[in-house]
Chains A and B, each alone.
Chain A
Amino acid sequence: MIALIGLIVGVILGVIFSPEVPTWMDAYLPVAVIAGLDAVSGAVRSMLDGNFSDKVFVVSFLGNVAVACILVWLGDQLGVGAQMSTGVVVVLAMRIFANAAAIRRKVFKA
């Protein structure tokens, strides 16, 4: 519950301040957002499963964002930045789907 409040407060803060995103961050912002969505969906799923852990949440989110951004950066350096972010987004989207499916099964029993 407190996590949900944190999320909503974050959105409100983002809307109020709508920070200017530097151009060099253009490639990383979407990846970070998808990684964030993945972390949130994983957290919701684990809450429903009753095994949510703050530590796992923090570590998995930070780890995933870091790896995703490093991959995209590396891809940029190698000239395959667009493909790399596609790959990262595909993997993260798969995880989001899996989490969403688990949540759906839990909530709707179907």
Chain B
Amino acid sequence: MNHPPDNILDRLIAEAQADDYALAQRNGPTTRGNPVIAVLLFGLIGVLLATAFWQRQSVLPAAELRRAELVERIEAQSERAEASQVQATELRASVSQLQQLALNGLGEDFGEQLRAVEIATGFVGLSGPGAVVTMDDAVPPLPRGVDPAESKVLDIDMQGAVNGLWQAGAQAIAIKGVRLTSVTAIRTAGEAILVDYRPLEPPYRIDAIGPSDLADRFSQSQAGDDLAQLGEDYGIQSEVSAADEVTVPASTANLPTRAEVVKGGGQ
């Protein structure tokens, strides 16, 4: 190390690169250190090198492993999807085969039975004679002593009307285009009435298919009286009318795809 360079960067580099051993020697006779410590330090450096190397090596496989795992899962799922697709195709084929059988081999009876089940479960859209019931929240002026909060159509009111319609002989009912099935709930969530978990807004139009005197039978039933009483007590508006042509759509409710018929307990 000669005269230190003037440039600060050069000086930095020169100092950083200074040969410690030469400098130590120049500062006086070198004192001997402990060679054991030096050897131990060499060993430590070796351990450091190996550790750093191994750590890198072990980090990479972890990522690789995860990737492989994901790939495996994707492949498994794809296989499952494919299998399901194949199964769906097979089932579809067997369904049409069975339908063909129903029409040919099993005769009229089975076809009719199938039809009845389809109607009862809301599997198909229907149209026919029946009744239309409309319900709506009260409009001011409200009857004396009625709170505005009480002047709304409640889920229980609608349930009453629907049950009355069933009782009066309705075969298929839809509320504002939502087909009612055995698993369709009518309930309140907050301010809205949910039918089949879909929020509906008033006015509520209930379409029911049934005998041509359905409207009359409903009006004369307990449910019809209750509906009229609701109008008197709370100002709930309602109207019941017969209709020559009522249409109800097929149900979009989830069919019980996980349920299976109990062996030997069907009928």
Contact = CB atoms under 8 A, between A and B. Distances in A.
Bound together: yes
Interface of A: 2-15, 18-19, 21, 29-30, 32-33, 36-37, 39-40, 42-43, 45-46, 49, 51-62, 91, 94-95, 98, 102
15 contacts: A4-B42, A6-B42, A9-B43, A10-B42, A10-B44, A12-B50, A15-B54, A18-B51, A29-B55, A51-B22, A51-B25, A53-B33, A55-B24, A61-B41, A98-B19
Given A10-B48, A95-B16, 15 more contacts: A3-B38, A6-B39, A10-B42, A10-B47, A21-B51, A29-B48, A37-B45, A39-B41, A46-B19, A46-B21, A53-B31, A53-B33, A54-B33, A56-B24, A98-B19
A2 B35 contact: yes
A46 B33 CA distance: 15
Interface in B218-260: none
Contacts of B52: 29-30, 33
B37 interface: yes
B19 A42 contact: yes
B202 interface: no
Contacts of A4: 42
Nearest to A90: B16
Interface of B: 13, 16-17, 19-22, 24-25, 30-35, 37-55, 58
A94 B49 CA distance: 19
Contacts of A54: 32-35, 37-38
A53 B47 CA distance: 22
B39 to A, nearest CB: 4
A101 to B, nearest CB: 9
A110 B52 CA distance: 33
Nearest to A101: B17
Given A46-B21, A54-B33, A36 B48 contact: yes
Contact of A55 (B33, B39, B44, B53): B33
Given A51-B22, A51-B25, A33 B48 contact: yes
Given A14-B51, A53-B24, A94-B13, A7 B45 contact: yes
A95 B25 CA distance: 19
B38 A11 contact: no
A56 B28 CA distance: 13
A11 B19 contact: no
Q: Which among A14, A21, A32 has the greatest number of chain B C-beta atoms within 10 A? A: A14
Contacts of A56: 20-21, 24, 30, 33
Nearest to A97: B17
B54 A14 contact: yes
B50 A36 contact: no
Contacts of A36: 44-45, 48-49
Given A13-B47, A18-B51, A51-B30, A57 B19 contact: no
Pick the most buried of A21, A36, A62, A102: most chain B CB atoms within 10 A of its CB.
A36
A6 to B, nearest CB: 4
B45 A51 contact: no
A18 B21 contact: no
Contacts of A9: 43, 46
Contacts of B20: 42, 56, 60
Nearest to A63: B20
B50 A55 contact: no
